[in-house]
Chains A and B, each alone.
Chain A
């Protein structure tokens, strides 16, 4: 996403990149970022906690006004858990990513059916 941020900013669009992987973000060096120290898959908060999600985004969006130098990262003051035990587990158990299949991976069969129907309709349009 940092590469996209750099192109958007070069095209005249101001960007703020959220990140939960500080070392990767520092290397890619996007114009402006806000670091949330949460496990991957929670870049803008915890599920079912709209007040926390709002607080995180409000604090992050302030970075637009606060950061003045290209490549700066705002450190957000939120913590996932008091003991931060999740940090020891991240990628520690080997590679648990799923196989890299090259066909659409639907969340449900119902989604697949709806998408295939929509495609069929598009084909029969004049």
Chain B
């Protein structure tokens, strides 16, 4: 396999070419800020699993995301009909996500894994938002605490997180 794409360098070079100021990426390595660690409390086959995704997924009938630092959340019933899912986002090519939302929101895959007994059960709702929120402060102070609150209320043991 060839080396992974160096997104930070490429985005930095793009911004410089466009005359934008340098974006300050969050850095929890330098100085080191290790993350908390909570092992799975029981086998995955007995866990209630949450799904959180940032690809701009909404259900037809819900208000769509806007493209300027939208830090709002949508609750998507995990029983949703796949054909009612929509995708909107300013920063990635939506062609494949609109053809098959499972590429950024693996709802059919997870329902199948529950049916097969690999995963215990799904929370009643998945939570979606639109990434590309430039302010890490807003993510930390507005968005993340709301997601923590929702997943706690859903009484999940663990959560799968799917960014774009």
> Chain A residues in contact with chain B, CB under 8 A?
1-19, 21-24, 26-31, 35, 37, 40-48, 50, 53-54, 57-58, 61, 64-65, 70-71, 79, 84, 87, 90-92, 94-95, 97-108, 110-112, 114-115, 118-119
A8 to B149, CA, bound (A): 9
Partner of B36, one of A6, A40, A46: A6
> Chain B residues in contact with chain A, CB under 8 A?
1-2, 4-11, 14, 17-18, 25-29, 33-41, 44, 50, 52, 54-55, 60-69, 86-88, 90-94, 96-100, 102-106, 108-110, 112-113, 118-119, 131, 136, 139-140, 143-145, 147-148, 151-152, 156-164
- Please give the distance in Å from A96's CB to the nearest CB on chain B: 8
Chain A to chain B: the 7 pairs with minimum beta-carbon distance, closest first: A47-B100, A1-B163, A29-B28, A10-B36, A91-B10, A107-B86, A41-B92
A45 near B86 with CB under 8 A, answer no
The total of interchain contacts (Cβ-Cβ below 8 angstroms) comes to 264
A105 contact set on B, CB distance < 8 A: 64-67, 88, 90
